[in-house]
Amino acid sequence: MTLFVFGINHTTASVDMREKLAFAPEITAAALQQLVSQEGVLEAAILSTCNRTEIYGRLDLGAEKVIQQDAQLSIESGHVIAKWLSDFHQVPLDQVKHHSYFQQDDQAVKHMMRVASGLDSMVLGEPQILGQLKSSFSVARQEKTATSHLIRMFQSAFNMAKYVRTHTAIGENPVSVAFAAVAMARQIFANLQDQTALLIGAGETIELVARHLHDAGLKKIIVANRTLARAQELAHEFNAQAVLLADIPDHLAAADIVISSTASQLPILGKGAVELALKERKHKLMFMVDIAVPRDIEAQVAQLDDVYLYTVDDLKDVIDEGMRSRQEAAKAAEVMIEEGLLAYLESERALDAVDSIRDYRQRMEAIRDEELERAIALLAKGGEVEMVMQRFARSLTNKMMHAPTVQLKKASALGDDKSLALLQTMFDLNKTL
């Protein structure tokens, strides 16, 4: 049995690959049920964001399901997860393996702690990732694919994230993806006040974008969303206009800045629609940032002469500026995570001891009950009390001593001093055997 994390992120895969392996919220529950139906997969949770797709879980190494794919591939090296992910998304297995990572046990726990604390993010210390991780945990619990071990792993990660953010400056003034997108817009346009922004989506990221644009002095904002009510709610805060996604073609020509972040599985804005808008704008420059994974804006839009189209990966240079100011906090956080990992491992070992003690007690009680039942039966047949009690005590003692005696003899014969010393301590033996 082993805990694991299998995934891809912004450091191992391009946005092209990340969008191929992303999980939409509406398919995650079904994906989890399919995943835990794989032989050897005992628990599972899925995290899918613009920067990463990660699968957390627990494997039964005793299952050893072997997959034929150019070679004999076993469960313990993560191949069963890679194969499932490949099949689920219809992406070649060699591509999945090339861009992925697989970590087990303490390294898997450490990785989750780093993710939850924002240390593994493109935006160092980003606060959004913790909420996204909590959402993935919630879905896994709801689907009953996260049980005892995975629950403790998540809870330890959440506790560590809280501790890191409380005791370091890792989360102070984070340069978010939203901030980076607006900073890039300010590099393109000398004066944002005279521009019009079309924001596609109405989630947390777009809300941050709207706030940064508003703070930068931009006066006209259009918010397009699948549901008008949510668009109106966000628009009201920034004195903006709310429209439906279907209305985007009617407003696109007015937009100097387009920033998109939705959970759509299909592109919302295509090359043809942008070409028409450019024609209406008489080819006046358009600046676009597609933060979504999968992408909201067709990649072919970048081929148009009067469009600057950027993806989330293109924002890295802007983000790096903010990262440098939090490097010291990150170093302190890494030390805390190492300490937290040790505490987690100690607690898990303690739980293992509890399980062993419980199993031992149950076995001894079963032996006791068996011998007691036999003694009562002998008494019922008229057996002498003293003889029955002597037989009961002798038989009970022999059965309880049998397994420890075998192990003591074995350790002594093999010269296994460590095991011999442990057994002597366990059974409070003062003399060397």
Rounded to whole angstroms, the Cα distance separating 75 from 54 reads 17
* Under 8 Å between Cβ of 55 and 46: yes
Closest Cα partner for 192 from 217, 221, 209? 217
- Alpha-carbon distances, residue 41 vs 45, 63, 333 (angstroms): 11, 9, 32
Could you tell me if 293 and 231 are in contact, meaning their C-beta atoms sit under 8 angstroms apart?
no
Residue 403 has φ and ψ, to the nearest 5°, of -65, -50
Residue 281 to residues 195, 204, 221, 251, 274: CA-CA distances in angstroms? 13, 30, 17, 11, 10
- SS3 category, 154: helix
Compute how many other C-beta atoms are within 10 angstroms of the C-beta atom of residue 339.
Answer: 12
Q: Which of 48-85 are b and which e, b meaning 16 or more Cβ less than 10 Å from the residue's Cβ?
A: bbbbbbbbbbbbeeebebebeeeeebebbebbbbbbbb
Burial of 246 (0-12, 13-18, 19+ CB in 10 A): exposed
The span from the CA of 376 to the CA of 374, in Å, is: 6
Question: Other CB atoms closer than 10 Å to residue 398's CB: what's the count?
Answer: 12
For the chain, what percentages of helix, strand and coil (3-state, to nearest 5) are there?
A: 60, 15, 25
Sign (positive or negative) of CA dihedral 324, 326, 328, 332: negative
Neighbours of 96 (CB within 10 A): 23
The active-site residue out of 31, 50, 119, 181 is 50
Determine contact, residues 47/53, Cβ cutoff 8 Å.
yes
Please confirm, yes or no, whether 93 is among the known catalytic residues: no
274 Cβ contact list (under 8 Å, min separation 6): 252, 286, 301, 304, 307
- What residues are annotated to the active site? 50
